[in-house]
Chains A and B, each alone.
Chain A
């Protein structure tokens, strides 16, 4: 990570706080109208998708209904759920858009997400050993983990995680790796597991039992469409999230360098540990504006549709302080994510030879 002294960090903090304060002072009708429009779009797509699905025995209708339901889940999870739970719209004082009571259309409970994502991931971003989102305790994505033969198959794990992403996210708080290492007992996780089964059961009941049953004669069609919609959402959200922190230049940090850190240091870590990707307006909406991961990580509770508007200012602050601003096309960023997953599945020597951009001087022969 770029080294900055406390005076420089203080200045960075003030520069970013200025941007934040400008947005906060300007929040109002426009933001309320935006999120309500998105909520309306979600309701329209979900109702439309569910109503069309039983007619899915006509192939083009099946495609339309599955796409509508899949996109509705993506919008609800990314642009509404994730952002509302960050408190981006708490200032509206609307109980339906409140961070602490919102419950989203996925297996992970809102409460578990608020603990593991809002608190752990956003506070300890990319600190190896503290941010369990870094590789989800499943993938080796940096030199901080020693290579083991099992890692050579991790690309399969990655594909499985993406396909079943909502279940993976739902089970994240189980901390199965710590249970395996006997650092914690399963008993401690019983309250979590109860919530997990309740919410997971609810989600599975809805998409795989209830809606197929009420449309009984065409149940297989509805079941297939609902599975398809969940799959679309799983693959897309997993991909977006992997692009946020695992691109080639996204940095990692050690616990020591972050101990007792200042707000300025926290900002620096968010800037260097996150990565953006470019795209059209709808790519940003469908990613919940996590395509502006850098802006999201420095200002997690500003309404996300504001990120494109402040991006120029954030880049100017980065230039001023000589901090890299990590962005690129979706194709470029995602390809480096795949290379990272593949690269770190290899022993260090082989990786250094095949993917020198991921080589670490310390492990060079």
Chain B
């Protein structure tokens, strides 16, 4: 019944007048979520249907999004939101299942590795249970299967396999005839994510070649010239890279030396956050999204001053962290609160410009 507030523009207008909010349907959320959390309108809810262990530090979460979720293409990511100790945390993960699975049984999977010190990934591993409801954003990202069909090479490392899994499943199901090779780099045999699924794919899909290399076992097998030399017809292949930064840099370099042009190489990043935190690391590149402006900052300059120096005029008040006139959204990057010295999370959240100092690259929604 409440859904009509979203569908009809007249009722949406009326809802805005009556409930003083741009998403009037969400006015009833506090009551509805007590009855059924899947009825919430503020975000798209998704219920955790099952959780599987992939490796000792990686789990696959099968979730069923509410009917209004718009779907995705193989290789895209989504933002997941979870409430941890009262704080809503948003993080981006790749979907590891194929769109076909969502079309047939209404579920998608997220394959998530624990990040050392990572708040959200560890919480999901330790506290998320089947039956729980999380928020699921719209899918985004342009890491997509070649269309029309072309020979392809995937180079994946560790948990970077997740968007690749989604694409391979989709290609296998659509009877993809061009040769597809996956070079998958993992630390040890025990770290192979979705090992069974990959081997099953290799067994039933003739165009697919699977090669798994272990980098931390007796004979370290790091990505090298020879691994690429063994890929037949490499110059004709579209290349997809996903994994830790070191692997991606190396792969880019090797492909470049083999004369593969940049526009045929697609990458998606999955780098772990910097582990070392020293106070000299303050400052960084600041991207003001709505103004489409990039500036750099040094030392402990706060974002309000940085924005003003860039001739922007964000709303502000006391300039001492009291009045929250200058609160706005940080979409990515880490900031340090000048008053408390505490660092923020890396994701989408609200910050006070007048007391927030960037630490590394930061994007702000002003």
From 141 to 164 in chain B, residues with beta carbon under 8 angstroms from any chain A beta carbon are none
A-B contacts, 11 of them at CB < 8 A, read A28-B85, A28-B86, A32-B87, A85-B324, A90-B350, A91-B87, A93-B350, A100-B315, A104-B20, A118-B323, A202-B20
Which one of A33-41, A242-250, A353-361 is at the interface? A33-41
Specify which chain B residues have a CB less than 8 angstroms from the CB of A24 in the assembled complex: 340
- Counting chain A CB atoms within 10 Å of each CB, the highest count among B14, B42, B87 belongs to B87
Contact A94 B88, CB 8 Å, known A40-B31, A103-B20, A123-B317: yes
Q: Is the CB of A39 within 8 A of B30?
A: yes
Given contacts A43-B30, A206-B18, list 14 more A-B pairs with CB under 8 A: A24-B340, A27-B86, A40-B34, A87-B323, A90-B352, A92-B88, A100-B315, A103-B20, A104-B20, A114-B324, A115-B325, A119-B323, A202-B20, A301-B322
B27 at the interface (CB under 8 A from A): yes
- Show the binding face of B for A, using Cβ within 8 Å: 14, 17-18, 20-21, 26-31, 34, 42, 83, 85-90, 315, 317-318, 320, 322-325, 327-328, 340, 348-350, 352
Residue of A nearest to B14 (CB): A210
From 88 to 145 in chain A, residues with beta carbon under 8 angstroms from any chain B beta carbon are 90-96, 98-100, 103-105, 114-115, 118-119, 122-123
Contact A36 B327, CB 8 Å, known A93-B88, A205-B17, A210-B17: no
Specify which chain B residues have a CB less than 8 angstroms from the CB of A39 in the assembled complex: 30
Taking the closest CB of chain A, its distance from the CB of B270, in whole angstroms, is 23
A263 at the interface (CB under 8 A from B): yes
Q: Is the CB of A99 within 8 A of B30?
A: no
A21 at the interface (CB under 8 A from B): yes
Which one of B27, B31, B327, B340 lies within 8 Å of A87 (CB-CB)?
Answer: B327
Specify which chain B residues have a CB less than 8 angstroms from the CB of A206 in the assembled complex: 17-18
Interface digits, A29-70 against B, CB 8 Å rule (1 contact, 0 not)? Answer: 111110010011001100100000000000000000000000
A168 at the interface (CB under 8 A from B): no
Contact A105 B327, CB 8 Å, known A36-B30, A90-B350: no
Specify which chain A residues have a CB less than 8 angstroms from the CB of B85 in the assembled complex: 28-29, 32
Q: Is the CB of A92 within 8 A of B324?
A: no
Taking the closest CB of chain B, its distance from the CB of A82, in whole angstroms, is 13
A151 at the interface (CB under 8 A from B): no
A172 at the interface (CB under 8 A from B): no
Which one of B14, B89, B327, B340 lies within 8 Å of A98 (CB-CB)?
Answer: B327
Specify which chain A residues have a CB less than 8 angstroms from the CB of B87 in the assembled complex: 28, 32, 91-93
Specify which chain B residues have a CB less than 8 angstroms from the CB of A205 in the assembled complex: 17
On chain A, which size bracket covers the interface? 35 or more
Residue of A nearest to B319 (CB): A123
From 146 to 179 in chain A, residues with beta carbon under 8 angstroms from any chain B beta carbon are none
Q: Is the CB of B323 within 8 A of A122?
A: yes
